[in-house]
Structures are given as structure tokens and as C-alpha cells.
A = this chain, B = another copy of it.
Amino acid sequence: MNLAQGPLESPDIADYRRYPVSAGLNALRPRADHLEVEWSDTRISPFHYLWLRDNCPCAQCVYTVTREQVLEIVDVPADLQPRQARIEADGALRVDWPDGHVSRYHPGWLRAHAYDDLSREERLRERPRSRLWATGLNEHLPVFDYAAVMKDDRTLLDWLRALRDTGLTQVQGMPTEPGTLQHIARRIAFIRESNFGVLFNVQSRADADSNAYTAFNLPLHTDLPTRELQPGLQFLHCLVNDAVGGDSLFVDGFAIAEALRREAPEDFRTLCELPVEFRNKDRHSDYRCLAPIIALDAHGAVTEIRIANFLRGPFNAPARQMPALYRAYRHFIALTREPRFRVERRLEAGQMWCFDNRRTLHARHAFDPSSGARHFQGCYVDRDELLSRIRVLERER
């Protein structure tokens, strides 16, 4: 079982992941359309013949330079059955196909991709989970040091995991030169551009094209709900903050959605099911997006909140559902105002918020622009980039 040791070097499955052998192959039982595998820990996993042929890792089926599949499964017969299947001396599964093609599967890889109910549940349990928070986060806010994040990959990884799991972090000790933001954002990936630019300046402006660029109080919201994909991470870097007022306010949208699910399941369902239109328009753009306020993933977990009262279009639900929609919407907004959920801080020069824009709703108290200068810079990086970066950093450990 020498395959059980360390990372796999075999070019066949060199996909930068490790597949430790937690259980060996004990027995194989060929069935009509699948091979039943019994593992050394007694687990039973069916592997359909089409699935096995589809996942043959040989250099003919997968181009080794790109690690991308060349075989197309539609090119084999629908009723494909192997000529023979056996366990090899090194613990691999070997399958001989009628056309002479031979496939070999590493047992660690096979176990990692088994799709019996138990294996699927196991993998689901291992997924990173959101750590919900409430006002208590005021005392436990994940705070990171700029210099450490910039030079040390381990600190970077800690920061990115906090962003993924907690969804609200602060970075301290940042230079206050405009543009510093992009250096730290690029530690993750390229920046997501929008009609507001690559970096955007949050300052009170007479010609504001968004309430964000006024001195108003801004209610709790996500940024760019008017786009199909709301930006994943939002960065807000404070260059100057000498104005009276303007403190930052955050709530965990996932915690609020879960409270709603628990306390008023019908309101929760309404916000998952009835789409709402968000709109943002100026002289040069007219964005509209129709989507529900709460989005769930395939497993029913809350994966996104989309809300910004000032960008919401008139509700356009069927008339009979309108009272339920208003009840649910008002309920959600009322929850965002409850003290139990709120985290409140003043951001000082050299500090930066970085948070999951699709989860952590943010707000700003009104400020007095005549009382002093206030200048923040912001930018976005998408969740895909965050998760990819985490995987690559974890790979290198």
C-alpha cells in the first residue's frame, strides 16, 4: 500500500490535492450497472460503470499538462460493462474495459469521491461552516495586522478563513496613502471592477450618484444588489476620519435570516421565494436585478442576503402575496435594527473593514461634513477568488 503515503505524485491525478488512504478496498462485487465496492471499514460504495469510465485518470483520457479531461462519456456505449475489475497489489482498483482500455483508480481518490449516502454526508459535514455572530462580536472581532498579512502567508490564510467563516474582519496598521487598498486586495486576487471604478472613493459629494456618496445615514445593506452577482468581499479603508458622526454598523445577515427562519418560518420562506427588483440608475447606467432577498444553497443553508432599501424597486408580487411580502420584509428590517445583532465601531485612519458583502450588512450613521474631512476608499473581490486563494494556501501548507 505504498500509495497511502503523503501527497500523490502520479501525473494521472496530479490535481494538487492529497488523497490519503483512510480505508482500503476489501472486495468488489459486479452488479448490472455498477461495481459494488466494500471497504476495509465495511462501508459499501456503488460506482456506476459509466462513472468509472468517465473518471479514468489515464493520460489518454486526461491531458496531463492541463489536467483536463479529453474523453467525452457520450462516446462510450450507455450499457458499458467492464470485462474485469480487480484490486491490484498496491491497493488500486483496476478495471479492464471491453475495447481493451484499462483504468486504474487510487483508493484514496476513489474514497474521496464515493457517492454512497454515508460518504456524501461525511463530506457535507466537513464543509467549512459560517460562524454566526451577534452583538458579542464587538468584543471578539477578528483583527489582523497589515504588515503581517502582507508578508506572511500563514497570517493571510488566517485572515481569509475569518472572512469566509465569520464574514467581518478589521485590518489595522495600514498606510493612509490613497491606493494602499489595492496592495492588500491583490494578496487575494485581482479586484472586481464596477461602474463605480476599480477603487471607489466614499466621500460626501454634491453630485452624488448614490446615497453612499452623501452624508446621509445609510440603512443596513449589501452593495450592488442590482447585479446578478453581488460582490463577495468588500474592503473599506479609512484614509481620514475627522468628521463628527459616520460610525460603521454591521449585522450578520445570516444570523438574522436564521433568526427569521426560527421565529417566523413563513416570513423566511417568503423572502426565499418572492423575488424583489433592485435598481440603480444614473445618466450612464441603468442596472436592474430581480432576485429573492434570501438565497439558499443546494443543502438549504443560507448563502446570500440581498438587501438595500434605497435601491429597491416597487414590489411586483401577485396582489394576493403582497401583504405577506410586506410583512416578511418589514420583519427582516426590524430584526436588523434589534440591538442584539448590531456591531458598532468608528473606523479611524489606517484601519480597514473587510467583510463578506453578501452576508454582512453594513450601514453608516449620518455625519457632519462641515466638522472635518472624511475619506474612505473601497473595492471588491469576489467569493470565487477568496475560496480559490484559501485552497491554494492550504495546498502549500
Please give the residue numbers on chain A whose beta carbons come within 8 Å of chain B beta carbons, in ascending order.
15-16, 33-34, 46, 48, 50-51, 54-55, 63, 65-70, 72-74, 78, 113, 115-117, 120, 189-195, 206-211, 213-214, 216, 219, 226-229, 275, 279, 281, 283-290, 298, 309-312, 314-319, 322-323, 326-327, 329-330, 333-334, 337, 382-384, 387-389, 391-392, 395
Contacts and interface: CB of A to CB of B under 8 A. Distances in A.
B66 A210 contact: yes
A337 B73 CA distance: 13
Contacts of A288: 387, 391
A112 to B, nearest CB: 9
How many monomers of this protein are in the complex? Answer: 2
A330 B73 CA distance: 7
Contacts of A33: 323
A310 B69 contact: yes
A66 B214 contact: yes
A85 B54 CA distance: 67
A274 B122 CA distance: 19
Contacts of A208: 65-66
Nearest to A16: B281
A383 to B, nearest CB: 7
A322 B281 contact: no
Contacts of A312: 69
A316 B113 contact: yes
Contacts of A50: 322-323, 326
B281 A74 contact: no
A377 to B, nearest CB: 18
A225 B68 CA distance: 14
B115 A311 contact: no
Contact of A391 (B214, B286, B327, B395): B286
Given A70-B310, A190-B193, A286 B392 contact: yes
Contacts of A323: 33, 48, 50
Contacts of A117: 318-319
B333 A72 contact: yes
A11 to B, nearest CB: 14
Contacts of A113: 314, 316
A314 B68 contact: no
B66 A392 contact: no
Given A72-B333, A115-B322, A290 B285 contact: no
Given A216-B63, A310-B68, A316-B120, A326 B115 contact: no
Contacts of A34: 319, 322
A51 B334 contact: no
Contacts of A68: 210-211, 310-311
A330 B51 contact: no
A16 B286 contact: yes
B54 A319 contact: no
A69 B217 CA distance: 12
Nearest to A48: B322
Contacts of A322: 34, 46, 48, 50-51, 115
A322 B287 CA distance: 40
A279 B50 CA distance: 20
Given A72-B309, A214-B66, A286-B16, A319 B388 contact: no
